[in-house]
């Protein structure tokens, strides 16, 4: 109860640091979601519609990677971008950019896996009907995407949800640096470690509020398109 009150007080006090953290969180989640969808949706569509030899192996691999522990993804990206690592020269460690990279590693398999099974499930009659009408390949793909857009949209939202709620990977590669790479989840972790449990919970409530607003906005936009 106390936490809820604290959450709203915090929001409406327009605390500069809180809004900066929310800004970093949104920026990171937006870019990681966008990039993993740009990579993952076409691959998912391909995996869902095409038949080829290595398909079942690739599907198993994707499904395994969907369960990749965030900490492992974080460590992987950390070793790539550490000072003496292969990409150390880029000086990206402890930046928002590298957090986005770690999240893309984490989220892209989820986007591929979910979108491929959605498309596989819903596109068979679309493909047959389109084929019966002798439509071009590009028109068929367009129809598959447009017919499955509600479910593809929920894939995008799951990706966003995962991204905004993730803490293990971004904490390792981002470093939770104040005014730079601190996001809502790492801030919550920090407050928990400080023993300020009710304040941490208040931050958690704000995070949930943000997620709710984004979901509501997104479904509002999609409904608009339908009409």
Partner 1 sequence: MKKVLAILLVAVMLFSFAACGSNKNETTAASGETTAATTPENAVIRLSTTTSVNDSGLLPYLLPTFEKETGYKVEVQSAGTGAAIQKAEDGNADLILVHAKQSEEEFIEKGFGVERLPFMYNYFVIVGPKNDPAGIKDCKDAASAFAKIQASGSSFVSRGDDSGTHKAELKIWGEGKAPDASKDKWYVSAGKGMGDCLNMASEMNAYCLTDKATFLSMQKDLNLDLLLEKGEDMKNTYSLIAVNPEKVDGVNTEGAKALIDWMLGDEASKLIADYGQEEYGVSLFTLLEK
Partner 2 sequence: MIELQKVKKCYGERTVLDIESLHIGAGEIAAFAGANGSGKTTLLRLLSGVEKASEGKITIPAEILYMPQQCYAFRGNLIKNITLGSGDKAAAMRLLEALELSALAEKPASSLSGGELQRLALCRLLARECKVLLLDEPTSACDARGEQLVMQAVREYQKAHSCTVLMTTHSPVIAAQGCDRLVILNSGNIEADGVPREVLMHPETAWAKSFIARWKIEC
Q: Segment near partner 2 (CB under 8 A), from 21-29, 31-39, 80-88, 128-136?
A: 128-136
State the minimum distance, in angstroms, from the CB of residue 176 to partner 1: 4
Q: Which CA distances in Å does 224 have to 71, 181, 219?
A: 38, 35, 8
Query: Mask 152-191, x = binds partner 1 (CB under 8 A)?
Result: -------------------x---xxxxxx-x---xx--x-
State the minimum distance, in angstroms, from the CB of residue 209 to partner 1: 13
6 binds partner 1 (CB under 8 A): no
Radius of gyration of the chain (CA): 20
Considering beta carbons, is residue 35 or 202 the nearer one to partner 1?
202
121 binds partner 2 (CB under 8 A): no
Q: Which parts of 4-157 are beta strand (E)?
A: none
Nearest CA among 187, 152, 153 for reference residue 28 = 187
Distance CA 176, CA 29 (A): 15
Contact 83, 93 (CB under 8 A): yes
Binding residues for partner 1, per CB under 8 A? 16-17, 82-83, 93-94, 171, 175-180, 182, 186-187, 190, 192-197
């Amino acid at each position: 109860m106390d936490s809820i009150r604290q959450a709203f007080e915090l929001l409406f006090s327009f605390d500069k640091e809180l809004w900066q953290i929310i800004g970093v969180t949104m920026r990171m989640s937006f870019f990681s979601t966008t990039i993993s969808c740009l990579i993952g949706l076409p691959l998912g569509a391909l995996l869902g519609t095409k038949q080829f030899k290595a398909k079942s192996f690739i599907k198993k691999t994707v499904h395994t990677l969907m369960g990749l522990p965030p900490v492992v993804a974080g460590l992987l990206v950390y070793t790539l971008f550490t000072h003496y690592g292969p990409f150390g020269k880029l000086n990206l460690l402890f930046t928002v950019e590298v957090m986005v990279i770690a999240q893309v590693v984490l989220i892209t398999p989820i986007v591929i896996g979910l979108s491929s099974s959605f498309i596989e499930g819903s596109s068979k009659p679309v493909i047959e009907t389109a084929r019966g009408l002798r439509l071009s390949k590009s028109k068929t793909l367009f129809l598959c995407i447009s017919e499955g857009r509600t479910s593809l949209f929920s894939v995008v939202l799951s990706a966003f949800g995962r991204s905004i709620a993730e803490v293990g990977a971004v904490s390792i590669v981002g470093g939770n640096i104040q005014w730079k790479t601190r996001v809502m989840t790492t801030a919550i972790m920090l407050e928990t470690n400080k023993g300020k449990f009710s304040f941490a919970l208040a931050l958690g409530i704000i995070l949930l509020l943000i997620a709710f607003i984004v979901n509501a906005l997104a479904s509002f936009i999609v409904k608009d398109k339908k009409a």
